[in-house]
Amino acid sequence: MSELKTKQVFDQPLNSEFADEEKRQDTPELNAQTVFEQQEKFIPAAVEQDSEQQGEPEKQLEQVIRPSRGRKWLASGLLAAFAGLVGWQAIDSVITAIQTTDWLSLGWAGFMAAIASLGLGVMGKELWKLRSLRNHFSVQEQSEVLLKSDSVGKGKAFCEDIAKQGGIIAESPAFDKWKNSINPAHSDAEVLDMYDAIVVSQQDKIATNLVTRYSTESAALVAVSPLAAADMLLVAWRNFTMIDKLADVYGIELGYWSRLKLFKLVLVNMAAAGASELAIDASMDLVSMDLAGKVSARAGQGLGVGILTARLGLKAMALLRPMPWHQDRKVKLSHMRKAVVHELKRIAIK
């Protein structure tokens, strides 16, 4: 006889099979077709710049007002037309005088032709110097572009051309030091910055001493001279002389018209100086003039003229440099003002 089995009790509900079936129906099949509804367009989020790039300041270069590029061919064309007419008239007069055996007319024709040739030579030389000044301003613009760019391979040749135009010999210690300091890994901006810091800075030192000397001499001249009209004429003449010498320092040859053009640009840049710069200079000038005015009224006037000459010289340096001032290496007016005040005090004590 077989033994009876004990009962078994199942806790799982009877509808579990149906529940499993519903779960299988809710789970999508892998190969089943899926239809996506139209969604919004993808808008890329703005990529935040690195904190190092955001914190890196841009190179601060002094803004210089340069002449606008007008019709450069007009003056050259007029000079060429005038030269052609003069030559044609001279040849016609000589031929006519020889044919009529009028030797007096032949002599006058030769004399007038010689004078006209001298005049044409002077005019051509002036136009050439004016063109050289315009080329110098274009070199400044090119250097400003290179200083703000990330290009490589143009800086060395550009600086060598600047040195050649500025009369800097290759054997000079500053130029040799700059040439040995650069390597192919440097960008054009770095090459120009090193040229400015090594080579042009030597020219800046000579030009700064020159401006300081002329400003102190102008201040002393006004302080001791009793004639105001003569003072202004002498100061104007000395300012023109100072600009000529500054041009020689930077290797730029000036003519009559180019000198007037440069002087006009210097005045324009002085008038267009920033409000903060004018406010700082004016406040310091008033303090210095008050100190000098306590010594004598003429010393206060001399100080004003000396500071004006110094500011004129600094603006001329900014226009004559082959590249714009970097704010970290810009020559300040403060030490020139101190030199002028010291000179006036020395004169007053005597």
pLDDT band (50, 70, 90) for residue 29 = low
Q: Is the predicted pLDDT of residue 89 greater than 70, yes or no?
A: yes
Q: What is the mean pLDDT of residues 184-190?
A: 90
The pLDDT, as a whole number, for residue 275 is 45
Other CB atoms within 10 A of residue 23 CB: 9
Contact 316, 241 (CB under 8 A): no
**Is 292 within 8 Å of 301 (Cβ atoms)?**
no
Mean predicted confidence (pLDDT) in 75-82: 78
- What is the average per-residue pLDDT within 32-48? 49
User: pLDDT per residue over 108-135, tens digit each?
Assistant: 888 888 888 888 888 888 888 888 888 8
Is pLDDT of 335 > 70? yes
Specify the pLDDT at position 209.
Answer: 92
Give the residue-averaged pLDDT of 15-42. Answer: 50
Query: Got the DSSP string for 259-313?
Result: HHHHHHHHHHHHHT--HHHHHHHHHHHHHHHHHHHHH-HHHHHHHHHHHHHHHHH
> What band does 52 get if pLDDT is binned at 50, 70 and 90?
very low
Structure confidence at residue 79 as a pLDDT band (50, 70, 90): confident
Q: Which residues contact 158 (CB under 8 A, 6 or more apart)?
A: 142, 143, 146, 188, 192
Following CA atoms 177, 178, 182, 186 in sequence, which dihedral angle do they give, to the nearest 10 degrees? 150
In this predicted structure, what is the pLDDT of residue 57?
Answer: 39
Is the pLDDT assigned to residue 288 strictly greater than 80?
A: no
Q: What is the DSSP letter of 61?
A: B
Higher-scoring residue by pLDDT: 275, 348: 348
Q: Give first-to-last CA distance, the chain, whole Å.
A: 150
Mean predicted confidence (pLDDT) in 21-28: 50
Report d(CA 195, CA 181) in Å as an integer: 10
More confident residue, 112 or 245: 245
Structure-model confidence comparison of residues 287 and 273, the more confident one: 273
| Distance, CA of 12 to chain centre | 91
Using pLDDT thresholds of 50, 70 and 90, give the confidence band for residue 211: very high
Q: Stretch 19-41: mean pLDDT, rounded?
A: 51
Neighbour count for residue 297 (Cβ, 10 Å): 11
**Please, which residues bridge with residue 61 across strands?**
326
Q: Does pLDDT of 297 surpass 70?
A: no
Of the listed ranges 42-51, 97-106, 151-160, 235-244, the one predicted with least confidence: 42-51
Tokens read off for 245: 């010498």
Place of tokens 């018209």: 257
Per-residue pLDDT, 109: 82
Give residue 178's pLDDT: 93
Q: Is the pLDDT of residue 271 over 90?
A: no
